[in-house]
């Protein structure tokens, strides 16, 4: 009964380092999403994938790249980390790209020094 | 584009007292509305949603929210809170009609509810 699994749960990086956050879902969902959560700002969409083979920018895509590796997995990459990217990152999935509720992972807490 | 405003960043409340969390939204198109709850160190969980039909929607754990189109609001209420309701609550919207290009939720800033014994 895993749902959406994110790895790692915590990470500390130095400015300029690169890193890939991993996300996998076992619910056979078509759509997947990456958000960042910052205090007082709620969650903001970074990138999403409406279906396997497609990705699109969200509200705050700068500094990030994504890969929809297959139907289960959707990764988020920081090529050159900056302190402004210190945040909690959440992956989510939904059955389809419409009004279906999104299911969230437990988050990755990322600190960039 | 859509925007969501949650007017209270924190709401302290005593156990068994009622609570109301306010949510107002702005959108040029009709929207679907959601409330999500986030318990400490966890991801978000769907609490309830309004898609169509009755403007009053209820969750299984005693929360209810009412969609008011004229006031563009979707306030969340519970008549009697428990310690276990301590969490952060997020209001969110997504535009309708259905779009093939994605179900892009826009979230409010969140309201932290602290239930005191």
Predicted confidence at residue B97, as pLDDT, reads: 62
Instruction: Tell me which residues of chain A have a pLDDT lower than 50.
Output: none
Is B49 near chain A, with CB under 8 Å? yes
Mutate which of B5, B29, B43 to disrupt the A interface (most A C-beta within 10 Å)?
A: B43
Residue B61 pLDDT level (bands cut at 50, 70, 90)? confident
C-alpha B65/C-alpha B50 separation (Å) is 9
Chain A segment 41-100 residues within 8 A of B by beta carbon are 41-45, 48, 50, 56, 58, 90, 92, 94, 96-100
Least confident piece of the model among B9-18, B90-99, B105-114: B90-99
What is the average pLDDT across B53-71? 92
Per-residue pLDDT tens digits for A43-59? 999 999 988 889 999 98
- Could you tell me how many helices (H) and strands (E) chain A has, helices first? 0, 11
Q: Of A8, A102, A110, whose CA–CA distance to A49 is shortest?
A: A102
pLDDT in tens, B22-60: 999 998 888 889 999 999 888 899 999 998 888 999 998
């Amino acid at each position: 009964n895993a749902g959406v699994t994110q790895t790692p749960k915590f990470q500390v990086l130095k400015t300029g380092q690169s890193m890939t956050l991993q996300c996998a879902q076992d619910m056979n969902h078509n759509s997947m999403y990456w958000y960042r959560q910052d205090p007082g700002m709620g969650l903001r969409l970074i990138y999403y994938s409406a279906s396997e083979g497609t990705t699109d920018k969200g509200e705050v895509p700068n500094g990030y790249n994504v890969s929809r590796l297959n139907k289960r997995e959707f990764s988020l990459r920081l090529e050159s980390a900056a302190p402004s990217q210190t945040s909690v990152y959440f992956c989510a999935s939904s059955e389809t790209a419409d009004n279906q509720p999104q299911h969230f992972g437990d988050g990755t807490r990322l600190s960039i020094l | 584009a859509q925007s969501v405003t949650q007017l209270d960043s924190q709401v302290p409340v005593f156990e068994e007292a009622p609570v109301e969390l306010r949510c107002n939204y702005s959108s040029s198109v009709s929207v679907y509305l959601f409330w999500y709850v986030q318990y400490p160190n966890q991801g978000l969980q769907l609490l309830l949603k309004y898609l169509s039909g009755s403007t009053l929607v209820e969750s299984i754990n005693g929360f209810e929210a009412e969609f008011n189109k004229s006031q563009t609001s979707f306030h969340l209420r519970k008549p009697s809170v428990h310690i276990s309701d301590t969490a952060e609550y997020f209001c969110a919207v997504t535009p309708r009609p259905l779009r093939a290009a994605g179900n892009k939720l826009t979230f409010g800033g969140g309201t932290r509810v602290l239930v005191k014994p």
